[in-house]
Amino acid sequence: MSLTATPEAAPATGQFQKRLGLFDGTMLVAGAMIGSGIFIVSSEIGRDVGSSGGLLAVWILTGIMTIIGALSYAELAAMMPHAGGQYVYLREAFSPLWGFLYGWTLFLVIQTGTIAAVGVAFSKFLGVIVPALGTKPEAGAWQLWEWHIGSYSATITAGHVVAVAIIALLTSLNCLGVREGKWVQNIFTVTKTLALILLIVLGFTVATHAEAIAANMTDWWSGATSTAAFRKVESWSGLPALVVALMVGGGAMVGALFSSDAWNNITFTAGEVQNPRRNLPLSLVLGTGLVITLYVLTNIGYLRALPLHGEEHAATAMGRGIDHAQDDRVGTALAETISPTLGPAVVAIAVMVSTFGCANGLILMGARLYYAMARDGLFFRSVGQLNPRGVPAAGLILQGIWACLLVFSGTYGQLLDYVIFAALLFYVLTVIGLFVLRRTQPDAPRPYRAFGYPVVPGLYVGLAAIIMIDLLFVKPGYTWPGLIIVVAGIPVYFLWRRVAATKLES
């Protein structure tokens, strides 16, 4: 593949097709957000924060941040409704370098890492129904390969192959056109939204357990200072208990933030959205508002059906509680209290539908950003071309190949830790870009202006920055590598520009 330095040097072979309406955009936002996280991560959050109040606080704060972030992005989306979305905002607010660093990190970690994590989650829940096709050999999954290099060991199971097959299937489907991709997205997003609503209804009705309500709501904050995460942070920080609890809560937000991530992806598809100055902002607000409402209600349902604290080796879902739900599958545990035999299988199918739709949305939207980069001469030239069906097929394929490789890079939990820090960094930079563009481009058309500017966007920047700093200390293993990847993009940017310039001169 050859490089180019100017948009004119990379003509598209097709044209973007404006086939995405308001409903489609909203389904893309909601569908990319709702994957498997809401069915899983509350277990780990519960173990870390140790209290029902802390669990709800993590989800509510995540929801507030997500919605005010979307409100801030809405102004940028209406102002610059161009393919590439967030890449364009960073390029215009700061410089092409910052746009490139976002695209570089999106490709290496954020988008492809999330696609890989969602694919692994699909296999994880498939293993509930067909153990041989799961991800854990000890649960019966077929083990295809295992190797050891020093202290490092890795295992390839049939579940990893299933995750790769899902990514390949959806990548191929999206190469056929945006219409095909949007129909898959709409059908699966509506289906999984109804499934999540059903789970909420069950949690508020037949699954409600008086013992769980008493245990969780008698004292909202008991247990916050007795978790392993609390003791670990306390041991090295020596800070007061309240500060330590807040730091642990910030670290525990990784799961909730990952479950609420990817709402910004709709901005990548601006070139295919009908009336984008109206529909992009509305899609962002409606999609995030819908999902966050469902997430908070789902966690209240969990607390009504299951005690937060349980015993790891207990025989029943009630005995294991939220914090020791089997394989962290809290949604499955709730259904198990109603029907120990049928419930887990029903929830597993719902999660498989959810993750399939989530992966489709992520695959569809991500390639549009690489297209914008390539049109600026900052990615492979072929990625900046559209096929006869009006989609960036080369970008889709390249994204799919890298996501498949990441499937084998780590567990679901490790991948989400790895993704969220880099994502937060660029969310903060983009919202700061809103302030910069208000100053540098005061006369630019703004059909929508950010709600509560400058206080509300400023609040987002402050909260996200605090959480990022906290993660660097509380969960350093997968946050520092993410930061290193971002910084490593700087020499790559200048090298890419130099190679591209050399090719033009020759």
Rounded Cα distance between 388 and 82, Å, is: 20
Residue 476 lies in a domain: yes
Rounded Cα distance between 504 and 6, Å, is: 10
Residue 2 lies in a domain: no
- Write out the H or E segment, with its range, that includes residue 447: none
Confidence at residue 8, expressed as pLDDT on a 0 to 100 scale: 36
Spatial contact of 254 and 475, defined as CB atoms under 8 Å apart: yes
Residue 34 lies in a domain: yes
Residue written as token pair 């092409």: 96
Residue 17 lies in a domain: yes
Spatial contact of 213 and 304, defined as CB atoms under 8 Å apart: yes
Beta bridge partners of 157: 143
Residue 1 lies in a domain: no
Confidence at residue 333, expressed as pLDDT on a 0 to 100 scale: 94
Confidence at residue 3, expressed as pLDDT on a 0 to 100 scale: 32
**Structural domain count of the chain:** 1
DSSP 344-399: HHHHHHHHHHHHHHHHHHHHHHHHHHHHHHHHTTSS-GGGG---TTSS-HHHHHHH
Rounded Cα distance between 320 and 337, Å, is: 11
Among residues 82, 95, 80, the alpha carbon closest in space to that of 371 is found at 82
- Write out the H or E segment, with its range, that includes residue 186: helix 178-204
Beta bridge partners of 303: none
Among residues 112, 97, 118, 94, the alpha carbon closest in space to that of 486 is found at 97
Residue 214 burial by Cβ neighbours in a 10 Å radius (0-12, 13-18, 19+): exposed
HEC letters along 34-67:
CCCHHHHCHHHHHHHHCCHHHHHHHHHHHHHHHH
Among residues 92, 26, 67, 106, the alpha carbon closest in space to that of 266 is found at 26
Confidence at residue 475, expressed as pLDDT on a 0 to 100 scale: 81
Backbone angles phi, psi at 131, to 5 degrees: -50, -35
Residue 252 lies in a domain: yes
pTM beyond 0.85: the answer is: yes
Confidence at residue 258, expressed as pLDDT on a 0 to 100 scale: 86
Spatial contact of 63 and 260, defined as CB atoms under 8 Å apart: yes
Residue 433 lies in a domain: yes
* Average pLDDT, 10 consecutive residues per value, the chain (506 residues): 36 74 96 93 95 97 96 94 94 96 92 90 91 88 80 81 96 95 95 95 95 91 92 93 94 91 94 93 96 97 96 92 92 93 91 95 96 93 93 96 86 62 92 97 93 96 93 81 87 89 70
Determine the structural domain holding residue 297 and report its residue range: 7-505
Torsion of CA 295, 300, 301, 303, to 10 degrees: 130
Q: Residues 352, 353, 358, CA angle at the centre, nearest 5°? A: 95
Q: Which two tokens stand for residue 320?
A: 């294991």
CATH number at residue 79: 1.20.1740.10
Rounded Cα distance between 247 and 41, Å, is: 18
